[in-house]
Amino acid sequence: MTALGAYLHIPFCARRCDYCAFATWTDRDDLIDAYLDALATDVAGAVAAGAGPFTSVFVGGGTPTRVPPERLAAVLARLPLAPGAEVTTEANPDDVTVASLQPLVDAGLNRVSLGVQSFRPHVLAALGRTHDAAHVEAAVAGARAAGVARLNVDLIYGAAGETIEDWVATLEAAVGLEPDHVSAYALTVEPGTPLADQPDRHPDDDDQADKYVVADEILTGAGLANYEISNWAEPGAECRHNLLYWSQGDYLGFGCAAHSHRAGRRWWNVRTPERYVDLVTRGEPPVAGDERLDTEARRREALQLAVRTRAGVPASAVPAEVAHLVRVEGDRATLTREGRLLANEVAVRLG
């Protein structure tokens, strides 16, 4: 069966984190019902046109756990799933309970990606997060009690005031929850965010490099293998939906600002929830624009994505000037740990 993913975008948040540049809003909760109606209509139209079955579904945001779970479950139920499909939702630790997840589990949810970011109170405050360690522990217990089979813990390193000791404590606490997947991302400064306007809070590259090495050592030591630069998992627990992105697979995006890809054509939806609701309600495509990559552009992009992963790239694609940053086994080349820290530099030189 050919892999096909679905992404559902939920753009509502209680509070916007200082580093966030995603299409999310804190003042549009009055649109939640109409938005979920439009999302259901959009999904139903795609399915009626022959989309599916879906091998993976990812609900992101925003904060998917901010909307009524029964309503979101009704949207999920419209998606025809392939046998063994992976169905993930992002979740804030503040919101997760058995009651909030059970309707989603009944609709096929089997994976939760928990936005933990840190276990240190002052680091959470620096990131603009509202939960604490107790919320995280309760959320993990709630997810498991609801029957969620797989758990990802999402972490961010490099916030103002975070020491190496803080980061080690966060990693050890995360490992202590026994997740089968951990994502650890370097804090990035996105234009237009509050963080961008405060240079004194910007992360330090050398500090983040040191923290990446620590993360790799601790997570690998806990039995979680690195399979993409920022992602570690137990064998077989890799995020199938993200692997679809990294392998130029096909996926359909539903909701405002959602992106889709099929056979080299990419398109994206209008950014605001109001416009999305209006267009879908009027029976018009909510598409804002599209692009089609030519054969050479697709080939180069495939290399630049694959080099980030454990699958690597053909060794013949790696030029001599970056050969010291890869490990060659047979005819494949994969990034060394140092290479992962310089992945962008390697990617632009692949041929």
Evaluate whether residue 256 is within a structural domain.
no
Number of domains in the chain: 2
User: Do 35 and 151 lie in a common domain?
Assistant: yes
Evaluate whether residue 319 is within a structural domain.
yes
pLDDT, one tens digit for every residue, the chain (351 residues): 799 999 999 999 988 888 887 888 889 999 999 999 999 999 999 999 999 999 999 999 999 999 999 999 999 999 999 999 999 999 999 989 999 999 999 999 999 999 999 999 999 999 888 888 899 999 999 999 999 999 999 999 999 999 999 999 999 999 999 999 999 999 998 898 888 788 888 899 999 999 999 999 999 999 999 999 999 999 999 999 999 999 999 999 999 999 999 988 999 999 999 999 999 999 999 999 999 999 999 999 999 999 999 999 999 999 999 999 999 999 999 999 999 999 999 999 997
Evaluate whether residue 280 is within a structural domain.
no
User: Do 193 and 309 lie in a common domain?
Assistant: no
- Both tokens of 111, joined, read 């994976």
Evaluate whether residue 21 is within a structural domain.
yes
Evaluate whether residue 285 is within a structural domain.
no
- Both tokens of 6, joined, read 């679905």
Evaluate whether residue 275 is within a structural domain.
no
Evaluate whether residue 264 is within a structural domain.
no
170-213 per-position pLDDT tens digit = 999 999 999 999 999 999 988 988 887 888 888 999 999 999 99
- Both tokens of 157, joined, read 């390193």
* Number of residues in the chain: 351
At residue 300's C-alpha, the angle toward residues 349 and 55, to 5°, is 130
User: Do 55 and 151 lie in a common domain?
Assistant: yes
- The 10 Å Cβ neighbour count of residue 300 is 16
User: Do 216 and 306 lie in a common domain?
Assistant: no
- The 10 Å Cβ neighbour count of residue 295 is 8
93-121 per-position pLDDT tens digit = 998 999 999 999 999 999 999 999 999 99
Single out the residue in 245, 277, 307 at which a domain terminates. Answer: 245
Give the HSE-up count for residue 343: Cα atoms under 13 Å, Cβ half-sphere.
21
Determine which helix (DSSP H) or strand (DSSP E) holds 88, and give its type and residue range.
strand 81-91
Which residues constitute the domain of residue 223?
4-245
3-state class of 191 per DSSP? coil
